[in-house]
Structure 1
Amino acid sequence: MHNRLQKIKVERKKKRRKRIALFIVLPIIVLGFATAAFGTHLYSQFKKSVAGSYEEIEGREKSPIRNDAVKIEKDHFSMLVIGVDDSEKRGFGDTSRSDALLLVTVNQNDHTAKLLSIPRDSYVYIPEVGYNTRINHAHAFGGPKATIETVEELLDIPVDYYVRVNFHAFLEVIDALGGIEVDVPFTITEQDSQDRAGAITLQPGLQTLNGEEALAFARTRHIDNDIERGKRQQQVIKAVIQKAASLKSLSKLDDLFEAVGSNMKTNLTFNEIKYLAEFGIKNRISIDSLTLEGSDSYMNGGAYYYQLDQKALEELKTEMQNHLEVNDSRQEIE
């Protein structure tokens, strides 16, 4: 039995499509863009980019877990970042599965953020279809709306905003920044964005990675698993934030805006993003990285999924509810 499971796991790794790293675009805006956005030209480009990215979700003026709509200038809030692969080569379009999910909660009183990586193969209940399956299927069933509802069901906290980005943004944003500095812990050999096997090789050590190299670093999991992969994604995110906040990046903002505008959808308005940018600049935000604990498991037919640890999940729910200060709002509404 053990040998059979090992064989299934090996085959799964071979057959599975390459994983697209999480390329969170919003923190770039929040912590980097606005420092230069008040110049006439850059301000105009910034506003145009955001306007082209705006997309409301019908019927979600607020989360059903909220008593009232969030006012971003005064309330604690949450944001779900959805990474998808919508490349022409893959041709998934609106039926694409999410390849990476990251939930951010922000407490404005103490200037803290919690960053939760959600493994793409987590076995959860999806309200859109009414049954349990891997969480990455939710986007294929109903886009950002179904994904948001699934995360709310899983964690019992409201999802106020979303940012949906595809893998082109990851490459273009990092290249527009001139690369990011990352401490690579071990030798990595990975495919590139064109599926060329072994095209990227990284040696251990602190170094500057371009978009392709950062993608390889964040997507690899042959040596470990999805949890460690999620930690690498968070490492890349923090490196992007640091680089975007640097004055050396300001001359590259035009390219950055173009990369964002063509690869992102969000329900954040221009004024809300502008506020977030100002908030991020004025306050030193402390970021706490979190993961969902669980274990590898297999269905009767041999399909792999990630089984969440229920006790750890309940503890995580409480921690994030406390951070948003929404502990009793769901019960009140029900």
Structure 2
Amino acid sequence: MKKQFIAVFMASLLIFGAFYGILANTVFKDDTAVASDPEQIEDPSQDKEPVEEEKNDILFLLMGVDAQDIDESEGTRTDTMMLTSIDLDTGKISILSIPRDTRTTVQGRLDKINAAHAYAGPEYSVEVVQNLLDIDLEYYVKVDYQIVQDVVNSIGGVTVEVPFNMKYRDPTAKPPLNINIQKGIQTLDGKNAHDFLRFRHNNDFTVGYPDGDVGRTKTQQYFMKELVKQTMKPKNLLKLPMLIETYFDNVETNIPISVMLKGALAANKIDVESMETATLPGEGSYIGGISYYIHNGTETEEVIRTMFGNYLVD
């Protein structure tokens, strides 16, 4: 089994990640007056040029990289791709999972979509997804798998229902895998949460998701909802300072601070129960002995129109 990485910071990144970055530079420096006004936040990474009127939602591509450290992720494939939007007026979150084996054009030839990052980095991954879905996509968020353990441990674990006994060992993986999670309601610590999301099947293939990576994607979406819901509890909001270092150590993004702040200010509108999730329509297929995920163009167009219609390319 190839080593896999599952990123679970997903929609919570703009909610809590914005808090981490903004609070580190405002509240914790007794500068709360500035934090209350997005127009007063200066983003040193952006040139001071006239800014076009922004939409009332935020759209970004969340990528989990197959690397132990975000600084060492160059040349690695993405294991997770999720197109995510947050409506700043309603607090609605929409997430479309893009299977890593999706067959599309990468550097002029048909390849798996997760190869885009390995060839040319996160900006190129954004370009490939933009072309695949015919959407106006600008922002990305890239995380490594250490953030899973750090966030979950910081909030004291995440309670989920495990669908079956998960057991798998791979001493050659980096880090080595030793998954052993029992079926049923479990409160997972950081390691087990990471293992829960990495699991695909046991060593002899007798236990696993009947629908392969599509089933694992549904588990990711379920876990993400629970992570956001449980992190939103008042007792966990008080732990935000503990997560600041984790955010800066394990996240790379081109989202300007001013845009992230808008996401933070919309946090009180978030309704996790109404979170909209979907997977790119399609099915698995073998071509030339290689496993691919072939997306359905007609169904994909309808899903994109429904979930991200205001970002369709004219």
Q: Note if contact 1:123-1:308 (Cα within 8 Å) is conserved in structure 2.
A: yes
- 1:4-55: CA deviations, max 9, x gaps? xxxxxxxxxx4xx1221122266155158749949843878xx9xxx9x997
The residue number in structure 2 matching 1:239 is: 226
Among candidates 56, 77, 84, match of residue 104 of structure 1: 84
**Counterpart AA for 1:117:** S
Among candidates 209, 221, 228, match of residue 200 of structure 2: 221
After superposition, the CA RMSD in angstroms is 3.3
The residue number in structure 2 matching 1:206 is: 185
TM-score normalized by structure 2?
Answer: 0.80
| Unmatched segments (≥5 aa) in structure 2 | 36-40, 202-207
- 1:149-206: CA deviations, max 9, x gaps? 1111111112232111111111212112211111111111134875545x22111222
- 1:219-274: CA deviations, max 9, x gaps? 22221211111111112212221222122224533331111110101122333222
Among candidates 118, 123, 138, match of residue 160 of structure 1: 138
Among candidates 66, 82, 92, match of residue 85 of structure 1: 66
The residue number in structure 1 matching 2:109 is: 131
Question: Is it true that 1:255 corresponds to 2:233 in the alignment?
Answer: no
| Unmatched segments (≥5 aa) in structure 1 | 1-13, 62-67
**Counterpart AA for 1:288:** E
Matches within 5 A, 1:31-42: 34=19, 37=23, 40-41=27-28
Q: Note if contact 1:31-1:241 (Cα within 8 Å) is conserved in structure 2.
A: no
Q: Note if contact 1:189-1:201 (Cα within 8 Å) is conserved in structure 2.
A: yes
Matches within 5 A, 1:43-58: none
Q: Note if contact 1:94-1:140 (Cα within 8 Å) is conserved in structure 2.
A: yes
Give the aligned length.
Answer: 290
Q: Secondary structure at the match of 1:158?
A: coil
Alignment partners' CA distance in 1, 2:146 and 2:307: 31
Q: Note if contact 1:26-1:163 (Cα within 8 Å) is conserved in structure 2.
A: no
Question: Is it true that 1:119 corresponds to 2:104 in the alignment?
Answer: no
Alignment partners' CA distance in 1, 2:82 and 2:131: 15
Q: Note if contact 2:91-2:269 (Cα within 8 Å) is conserved in structure 1.
A: no
Change (3 A) 1:273 1:42: farther
Q: Note if contact 1:221-1:229 (Cα within 8 Å) is conserved in structure 2.
A: yes
Alignment partners' CA distance in 2, 1:107 and 1:29: 11
Matches within 5 A, 1:17-32: 17-24=2-9, 27-28=12-13, 30=15
